[in-house]
Structures are given as structure tokens and as C-alpha cells.
């Protein structure tokens, strides 16, 4: 894979964990505003966010990954994504504690996702990339597989909410 083109990824933080989403799926990044609540939705569905006049289903990424809910702060952001599904593209807002930066990652830097030993479900993970933390320690960036982040049931529930 040497010489393969690098991909661009938006890195985001959930607590101490760092995740990444391909920039090809990111439409825009918004300051956090509380979404309009929708009754009887899945617990991770916060509601609808007005994105340029359209109601966009917005999920709490922490809740979706099984992490504890966090109170929004001045660094909380909503990433508006276009998620490719089998039969359509779903506009979706993901709430993250913070957006860090856009990074280039070469395919040969991506390691296979671990099956155990992580606090989130590994089937959402495309792979991991080693990185050095600000404290100079080794860490990882977890790359999301967006199509697998949402099950068919999730996609149907989110489509009905929109």
C-alpha cells in the first residue's frame, strides 16, 4: 500500500478518546444548540437540528457508543454528515465534545480494529491509527465506519424523525 493517497479525516473528541470521520462525509460543523426534542425516539436521538431550513436528526454520539452522557460545553459541536446507506444518503448530526482538527492519514497507517479491550463496540470501527498525545504518550485515533454505526433499525428511526 506504500504510495497510496492519503485520506483527510476530521478528528473529534469524546472525553479522552479521539475518533475520526472522513471529510468526504462532513457537510459542515456547527456550534452546539440544543436540538428540538422528539418524543419516543431512541435514547441516543437528541432531536432535530435546523440545518439551513431542514430538520436534521441529531444523535448523542456518546450515548450511541455506550459512553456516559455529558453536559454540553462551549467546545461541544454538531458535525452534520451525509451518511451513505444502502438505498439513500441520510443527513445526520453527531454531537461531539469537541472537534480537534483535520488530519491526513495514509491507508498503510490504518490498523485493523481490535475485537476486545475497548469501551465501545468494535463493529463501528473501520480501523485505528497510532498517534502521540499532547502529553507525549502513545494513543490511538479510532476511525468510524459510518455505514455500520447506524443499523437498519437506527436508520429507519432517524429517517422517520426527519
CATH label of the domain that carries residue 54: 2.40.50.180
- Domain range for 92 is 7-161
DSSP line for 107-129: GGGPBPPPSSSSSS-GGGEEEEE
83-133 pLDDT, tens digit each: 887 778 889 999 999 999 999 999 999 988 766 555 555 667 888 998 876
- Domains in the chain, number: 1
Residue 92 included in any domain: yes
Q: What is the pTM of this model?
A: 0.83
The answer to whether residue 89 sits within a structural domain is yes
18 touches 11 (CB < 8 A): yes
Q: Is residue 159 predicted with pLDDT exceeding 70?
A: no
Is 2 inside any structural domain?
Answer: no
What mean pLDDT do residues 20-34 have? 95
Residue percentage of the chain with pLDDT more than 90: 48
Highest mean pLDDT among 37-46, 79-88, 100-109, 139-148: 100-109
Amino acid at each position: 500500500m506504500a504510495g497510496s493517497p492519503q485520506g483527510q479525516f476530521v478528528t473529534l473528541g469524546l472525553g479522552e478518546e479521539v475518533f475520526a470521520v472522513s471529510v468526504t462525509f462532513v457537510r459542515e460543523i456547527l456550534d452546539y444548540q440544543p436540538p428540538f426534542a422528539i418524543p419516543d425516539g431512541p435514547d441516543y436521538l437528541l432531536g432535530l437540528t435546523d440545518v439551513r431550513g431542514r430538520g436534521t436528526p441529531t444523535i448523542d454520539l456518546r450515548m450511541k457508543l455506550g459512553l456516559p452522557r455529558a453536559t454540553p460545553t462551549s467546545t461541544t459541536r454538531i458535525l452534520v454528515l451525509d451518511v451513505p446507506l444502502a438505498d439513500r444518503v441520510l443527513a445526520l448530526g453527531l454531537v461531539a465534545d469537541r472537534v480537534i482538527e483535520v488530519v491526513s492519514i495514509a491507508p498503510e497507517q490504518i490498523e485493523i480494529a481490535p475485537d476486545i479491550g475497548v469501551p465501545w463496540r468494535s463493529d463501528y470501527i473501520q480501523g485505528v491509527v497510532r498517534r502521540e498525545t499532547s502529553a507525549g504518550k502513545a494513543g490511538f485515533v479510532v476511525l468510524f465506519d459510518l455505514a455500520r454505526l447506524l443499523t437498519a433499525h437506527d436508520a429507519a428511526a432517524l429517517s422517520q424523525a426527519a
